[in-house]
Structure 1
Amino acid sequence: MHPKHPPISGKLPVFMHGADYNPDQWQHDPAVLEEDIRLMKLAGCNVMAVGIFAWAALEPEEGRFEFGWLDRVLDRFAEEGLYAWLATPSGARPAWMSERYPEVLRVGANRVRNLHGHRHNHCYTSPAYREKTAILNAKLAERYAHHPAVVGWHLSNEYGGDCHCPLCQEAFREWLQRRYGTLDALNAAWWTSFWAHTYTSWSQIESPAPHGETMVHAHNLDWRRYVTDRTADFCSHEIASVRPFNPELPVTTNMMDWYDGLDYRRFAGLLDVISWDAYPTWHDAADDSRTAAWFAFNHDLFRSLKDKPFMLMESTPSLTNWQPVSKLKKPGMHRLSSLQAVAHGADTVQYFQWRKSRGSSEKLHGAVVDHVGHEHTRVFRDVAELGGTLAALRDVVGTTTPARAAILTDWDNRWAVRDAQGPRNCGVHYEDTVMDHYRALWSLGIPVDVIGSEEQRDLGRYALIVAPMLYLCREETGVRLERYVSDGGVLVSTYWSGIVDERDLCYLGGFPGPLRRTLGIWAEEIDALYDGEINGLVPAGAKGGRSEQGRAAAEACGNGSGGTAHGDVARGGQLRLSREYDARELCELVHLEGAEALAVYRSDFYAGRPALTVNRLGAGSAYYLATRAEPTFYGDFYGQLSRKLRIPRALDAELPAGVTAQVRTDGATDYVFVLNFSGSGQTVPLDGRAYADAESGEPLDAAELTLPANGSRVLRRAAEG
């Protein structure tokens, strides 16, 4: 049921442990390479990402290539049993290129061309940039694609940003012509009759600009989609320049946490393995659970892109140099945060960076090897100890995450939510809303996939799908979710859903548009609350929750109780709230159209009207939360719902606040990661099953675990059928 995935590289069928390595910065001192190799082996590191920003070292002048230094590095790696992800250096180009080919420099939304500098300051459309990238990439591939030390290609570095130059303007118009075919179709999709913005020529269309057009929301949305497609096309261009030389080498590119600028799902089909860079702001509160949940969500997101293990390509072994406050990791946090990635599906733990740069902007960024240059540091010891742990856990490599719950999020929905004007222009907090739901499941130790509405995956594998604030909801998404519920699934949706289609056009005939039949409600209005203003959810039928006035209001808005069958939790019985909860920010006024009210509003003119509903459809159920509830609501709601749905938890026990458990499995053996982000020592109950320590193999005789602050344990047990 849970087949084990093959290792990322057959050359290295264990956990990859290593860092970004920049030997091009140390060519003046050959002794550095030899000392680095000694330290890599001492730290239990086996792989480095090499050459990421090395273009100027590889091609110091146009057409003159210098590979001697890279030959030495890779040859020494091969001799010492070390490996490399070989990078294409397109993340930053040399000065000679900017001077000779100014078209490679980006143009901002203000239509001003940038000067040379920074990184990712280049145009993905530029023929000159594409040509020079292909030439260098091909030379690297021709020379190293069969090198014994090379395990794969690290494409560029953190693709991102957009360009508004004339070349990109024309490419955008061509993209729109392919998408819409005719100007009439584009004008209809963009609703350009608004403010007399109708286009009569393709040449009139430009990208959004601060001194031009920004108010046509579908225009903004399509520009963001175009930027993703243009960047993915450049990624494909890079792949095409290296792949033919050895099709067996996997390719990846390092992504960033839920990066707003690119829809990463468009890259999943291009890449052999997903990798990403995680830089939490640990220790910014009394406990680290909120930060941990955010990064757990991202680990799940990147694992879900290809539904298999991913790579943690960058993390800091120490501190960063760019966060508002660059904190040191407290004792235990390096192991804890690294094992968190592994718990959610990472088959690598890698760092930025191996050795600290001596100058420029990242000279004070954390590294395995500090400026002092030796192994006698706290950070190096942390890394070496983790190297030993990863070696002991090699059987975890390739195992799967048995998620029976999923969060549905789309990048274009996120963009559309942000662009929408009203009801709260001070913020509807889409990301926070997603995290309210995710964090509740994470706190319960329930594995979660993060999925998209356009993915072609079987939704029937999930007992529960949560779709928070699905503002942009395609008709076909509504059809799929209706079928999912009718076939026995349970859906949870929220306020501000089913408002617009993929063109950002409002649905006519009543919200939530294509979700209306599934949810059994009609959302007539939405009230925005000021910061500090509070309403509340009261259990339906509770004293004070169903006053005569409230009962009359609920019945006036449609159907009162909603019938006798509704409220069953996919044949699991009625879910009932046992207390009141505060509500903030948005309160939607809904009519019941077959659904039943589980909770009603506490106050204001809509007191007594439905605030939480459930609709029975076919063999399944669909819940609708019409307001943003206080955080404790989500824990209580999903705790009760998951029990009724019998969704497995990593540990079938009540976990202390700030402690989570995650599981990976090969179908025969489960590996349970118990992780303490609470900021203090905790006692964690076990669930009566037979456990052993996954690192030592020693059986556990106790009925509970004692974890110090930032403590972590990996347990092993027999998997259940």
Structure 2
Amino acid sequence: MPSLDDSTRGRILFGGDYNPEQWPEETWQEDVRLMKRAGVNSVTLGVFSWSKIEPRPGAREFGWLDRLMDLTHANGIGVVLATPTASPPPWMGARHPETLPRDEQGRTVWWGSRQQFCASSPTYRAYAAAITEDLAARYAGHPALTMWHINNEYCTHCWCDETARHFRRWLGTRHGTLDALNEAWGTAFWSQRYDDWEEIIPPRHAQYLHNPAQLLDFKRFTSDALMECCTAERDIVARHTPHIPVTTNFMPLWSGQDAWRWAEREDVVSVDIYPDPKDPLGGQYNAMLGDMTRSQARGPWMLMEQSAGAVNWRGVNHPKPRGLNRLWSLQSVARGADAVCYFQWRQSRQGAEKFHSGMLGHAGEEGRTFRETCRIGSELGALGAHVAGSRIEADIAVLHDWNSWWADQQDGRPSVRLEYTDVVRAWHRALWESGRTTDFAHPEHDLTGYRLVVVPHLYLLTDTAIGNLLRYVRGGGTLVSGFLTGVADGDDRVRPGGMDARLRALFGIGTLHEWWPLDAGERVACEGFLGTLWSEEFEVAGGEVVAAYRGGELDGMPAVVRNGRAWYVSTLPEPDALRALLGRIADGAGAEPVLAGLPAGVEAVRRGELLFLLNHNREPVTVPLPGVHRELLTGTRVSGGLTLERHGVAVLGETSP
């Protein structure tokens, strides 16, 4: 199977989406000149070029792409060639309205933007397969081709009649019989029992709350339907070029796509990451998504898109301050990326994204953004031979599952304030700020290699997952879980007692009486800290009370319990308290920080033999260092300590006592 190594060949890919069809051809030569100046060695072509290649049904206009592929190759720039199927041409919707998606209320989603396709439409799939086939046949032997990029940011949803038929077929495969489906969905509630498959429709606009199990299955189906489209195109290009790796770009922690399942079908796992420059924890968000993508890839991964400056889709779109683009780019490399790419190369002058920054902005080659681009390209060129292909070892795994997220975010839950991703981010932040590197893992993955497994919040856990956690602890691992975990089974059926009995025994919990969600701004006092968002009323049964609630309805009740190597935290401690608690548990498990004594805001990551130091502060910081090191970005010798500039980065190697 081809891999990212087949494209990088001991270097870090650097470049981004290139949309030359938006510009006259005389601009192409200027683009190539500036790419070489910036150290660009890879561009992604064709992402939104369907109407350029196929201006009318069946037509093929490849001449412009031929010239472009030849031009990039002649200048030493590899091509990640995209299938253009994310944005069908207007003629498809006009001639084949059945390819257009419909929303929950039956309204048509028209052309005029992008991604206006129904993933279940046989017509769309046939046109997508045809253009992919011709694209692959034409460029299979072209020397510029280094990777295939399927579609772009799969994110469409549809509730049309064709989707309904596809959904019923999917349900038949999953459940087998109507009796089994009725049991799984609990259709005895509200007289929802189905007597014929044709009665089943997607969860369209309804009078009141939908059936939660139906919603959960529709989320699963939608992810699988999109994956079918992706797999069909992947199989076509792989047949023509079995030696060329294939990817599709995930959106960051997006709810519509079970990335664990998708990643198993990719040669290269890639993601688009856009932290907010105004977010004081933007670096932690970037680190979390890097950790997650590396874990899905089980090794090096590809940063397919980031912004060189401002984006265009936030309410207020702030540019990146000096040094931040470089910091976050090198942070991705530190956390396993072997490709650092952008949307896009040249900033557009027209269209909906003309205010989205590019590596070459409206200010041109004299602009700050392009000068920073050149610096990053030069440094990645120097680092490539030292870092490309190397791995990261983590002692800690954070468990994450899309099925639990989907079930957790439906209506009719105890609190609308409980946002799954916020809880995951809070727990990852605590570990990140304590200087510990983490992987992410699915709750059914093999966990035996980790000293500590962290479960921020998994409302839904299958029997297989629960058995996996029990085996992990019995095998000597340390487990710490957050609140409202193990409540439901795989069909979103609440387990007897409100929490799986095996988990209650594992954590030393007896009767779980009530869940006590907290209002906005409300805090609950615990011994030594304040809890937010959530609290629970339960009794211990063999567990040790580490911290109890103080005051209020839960006065004296356990807040944090420990039963041997298993810990349970029934609230969300404030950030400092959560960091201290997880640090204490990690220390006990032998999961130590990468580097002790780091100043606040400084991140340390080991990748292979290299130590990355990253300063997320807006002022210089001095980092004490044991031993003697060679700093690879400057070639200088470092001993005793190192001063990092604001948003500064150092990459250290060749250590000695």
Q: CA deviation at 1:76?
A: 1.2
The one of 510, 518, 524 aligned to 2:513: 524
Q: CA deviation at 1:696?
A: 3.6
Are the equivalent residues in 2 in contact too, given 1:444–1:654 (CA < 8 A)?
no
Query: Which amino acid in structure 2 is aligned with residue 249 of structure 1?
Result: I
Q: Distance in 1 between the 2:173 and 2:96 partners? A: 29
Are the equivalent residues in 1 in contact too, given 2:3–2:268 (CA < 8 A)?
no
Q: 1:20 to 1:313 in 2, by over 3 A?
A: same
Using the aligned pairs only, state the percent identity: 38
Q: 2:358 maps to what in 1? A: 367
Number of residue pairs aligned between Structure 1 and Structure 2? 654
Q: 1:423 to 1:509 in 2, by over 3 A?
A: closer
Question: What do the CA deviations read for 1:276-297 (whole angstroms, capped 9, x no partner)?
Answer: 111111134xxx2x22112211
Q: Distance in 2 between the 1:683 and 1:700 partners? A: 12
Q: 1:624 maps to what in 2? A: 568
Q: 1:174 to 1:94 in 2, by over 3 A?
A: same
- Mean Cα deviation higher: 413-422 or 621-630: 413-422
Q: Distance in 1 between the 2:242 and 2:520 partners? A: 56
Q: Distance in 2 between the 1:294 and 1:512 partners? A: 32
1:650 aligns with 2:594: yes
Query: Which amino acid in structure 1 is aligned with residue 441 of structure 2?
Result: I
Q: 2:470 maps to what in 1? A: 482
Query: Which amino acid in structure 1 is aligned with residue 356 of structure 2?
Result: H
Query: Which amino acid in structure 2 is aligned with residue 296 of structure 1?
Result: A
Q: 2:407 maps to what in 1? A: 416
Q: 2:491 maps to what in 1? A: 503
The one of 223, 232, 241 aligned to 1:237: 232
Q: Distance in 1 between the 2:498 and 2:206 partners? A: 36
Q: Distance in 2 between the 1:309 and 1:441 partners? A: 21
Counterparts of 1:268-667 in structure 2 under 5 Å? 268-284=263-279, 288=280, 290-372=281-363, 374-394=364-384, 395-419=386-410, 421-425=412-416, 427-455=417-445, 458-522=446-510, 523-538=512-527, 580-616=528-564, 621-651=565-595, 653-665=596-608
Q: Distance in 2 between the 1:11 and 1:596 partners? A: 52
Q: Distance in 2 between the 1:434 and 1:105 partners? A: 35
Are the equivalent residues in 2 in contact too, given 1:145–1:245 (CA < 8 A)?
yes
Unaligned residue ranges in structure 2 (runs of 5+): none
1:682 aligns with 2:621: yes
Q: 1:419 to 1:104 in 2, by over 3 A?
A: same
Q: CA deviation at 1:713?
A: 1.3
Q: CA deviation at 1:525?
A: 1.6
Q: 2:135 maps to what in 1? A: 140
Larger Rg: 1
Q: Distance in 1 between the 2:501 and 2:51 partners? A: 54
Question: What do the CA deviations read for 1:518-564 (whole angstroms, capped 9, x no partner)?
Answer: 212132222222223322221xxxxxxxxxxxxxxxxxxxxxxxxxx
Q: Distance in 2 between the 1:532 and 1:117 partners? A: 43
Q: Distance in 2 between the 1:501 and 1:107 partners? A: 31
Structure 2 counterpart SS, 1:267 = helix
Q: Distance in 2 between the 1:511 and 1:30 partners? A: 63
Structure 1 counterpart SS, 2:70 = helix
Q: Distance in 2 between the 1:7 and 1:424 partners? A: 43
Q: Distance in 2 between the 1:167 and 1:405 partners? A: 44
Q: Distance in 2 between the 1:126 and 1:400 partners? A: 41
Q: Distance in 2 between the 1:165 and 1:212 partners? A: 19
Q: 2:50 maps to what in 1? A: 55
Q: CA deviation at 1:354?
A: 0.8
Q: 1:6 to 1:204 in 2, by over 3 A?
A: closer
Question: What do the CA deviations read for 1:628-647 (whole angstroms, capped 9, x no partner)?
Answer: 21111111112222223222
Q: Distance in 1 between the 2:497 and 2:534 partners? A: 22
Are the equivalent residues in 2 in contact too, given 1:467–1:492 (CA < 8 A)?
yes
Query: Which amino acid in structure 2 is aligned with residue 203 of structure 1?
Result: E
Q: Distance in 2 between the 1:327 and 1:154 partners? A: 29
Q: Distance in 1 between the 2:465 and 2:210 partners? A: 26
The one of 638, 647, 652 aligned to 1:700: 638
Q: Distance in 1 between the 2:335 and 2:523 partners? A: 36
Q: 2:12 maps to what in 1? A: 15
1:68 aligns with 2:63: yes
Q: CA deviation at 1:7?
A: 4.9
Query: Which amino acid in structure 1 is aligned with residue 474 of structure 2?
Result: S
Q: 1:357 to 1:265 in 2, by over 3 A?
A: same
Q: Distance in 1 between the 2:142 and 2:11 partners? A: 19
Are the equivalent residues in 1 in contact too, given 2:7–2:245 (CA < 8 A)?
no
Are the equivalent residues in 1 in contact too, given 2:461–2:489 (CA < 8 A)?
yes
Counterparts of 1:111-122 in structure 2 under 5 Å? 111-122=106-117
What's the RMSD between the two structures over aligned residues? 1.7
Q: CA deviation at 1:368?
A: 1.7
Q: 1:229 to 1:135 in 2, by over 3 A?
A: same
Are the equivalent residues in 2 in contact too, given 1:590–1:626 (CA < 8 A)?
no
TM-score under structure 2 length normalisation: 0.97
